[in-house]
Amino acid sequence: MLVKLANVSTGGNLRVSIRCPGCGNVGTFEPLQNVTDIHVPPGVFLGQRMCPNPACKTHVFCVYTSTGELLRTYPPERIDFDPKGIPAPIVKTFMEALTCRAEGLHVAAAIMIRRTLEELCEEKKATGNTLKDRISSLQATVVLPKELFVALDDLRLLGNDAAHIEAKTYNSIGSDEVDIGIELTKEVLKAVYQLDDLLARLRALKKS
């Protein structure tokens, strides 16, 4: 987003409620003390904010309107994701998908979602010449509801559309497609890597 600084003045200082790109918590970001926002006519404001989490204090730029509509934040908000228990290569790839989505790079995000599936198949030693074959092979080593295996193939097709001009399974690769793809990928990773740990922690709390 480009903002041209012409006839600027000061004012604004809107409190902004966002998910921190640093610590991942949602909070109300206050204006920095003694730092005034810039007003760009007819009604755009540029300001600096800080995460209210004392252990974080990440610095964020924000762009908003005179009606209080938040247009952009820098660094941008990212969808919440808990990487606990998930292998590092898978986390790295999926975090790149989240970064692409946050920057509005939907095609790139869809490609990285597909790459996340490839990393999952690699880690679980699924075999096959194509990703479709490896997803099918995955059913022998991973316990998932049937619906999530169907979702894996849908995510593969979403990535194909993003990577290949001739692939036309989806009408477009936009925010809706990518957001749903990310949520489904999170559910798959949670079921594969985090559910057993969660159940083990619950059982450990039982009386002996």
In a 3-state reduction of DSSP, which class is residue 114?
Answer: helix
| Residues spanned by the domain of 51 | 9-74
* Mean residue pLDDT across the chain: 89
Quote the DSSP letter at residue 13. Answer: -
pLDDT tens digit sequence for 80-99: 898 989 999 999 999 999 99
In the chain, which ranges are continuous DSSP H helix? Answer: 88-102, 106-123, 131-138, 146-163, 175-189, 195-203
Supply the pTM of this predicted model.
0.80
Overall average pLDDT of the 16-37 stretch: 92
**In terms of C-beta density within 10 A (0-12 exposed, 13-18 middle, 19 or more buried), how is residue 207 classed?**
exposed
Q: Are 18 and 96 found together in one domain?
A: no
Out of 22, 52, 74, pick the residue that ends a domain. Answer: 74
Q: In the structure encoding, which two tokens stand for residue 207, read together? A: 């009386």
Q: How many domains does the chain have?
A: 2
Check residue 171 and give its pLDDT: 64
In a domain, 30, yes or no: yes
State which of 5-14, 55-64, 144-153 shows the largest mean pLDDT.
55-64
In a domain, 80, yes or no: no
Q: Are 51 and 95 found together in one domain?
A: no
Check residue 170 and give its pLDDT: 65
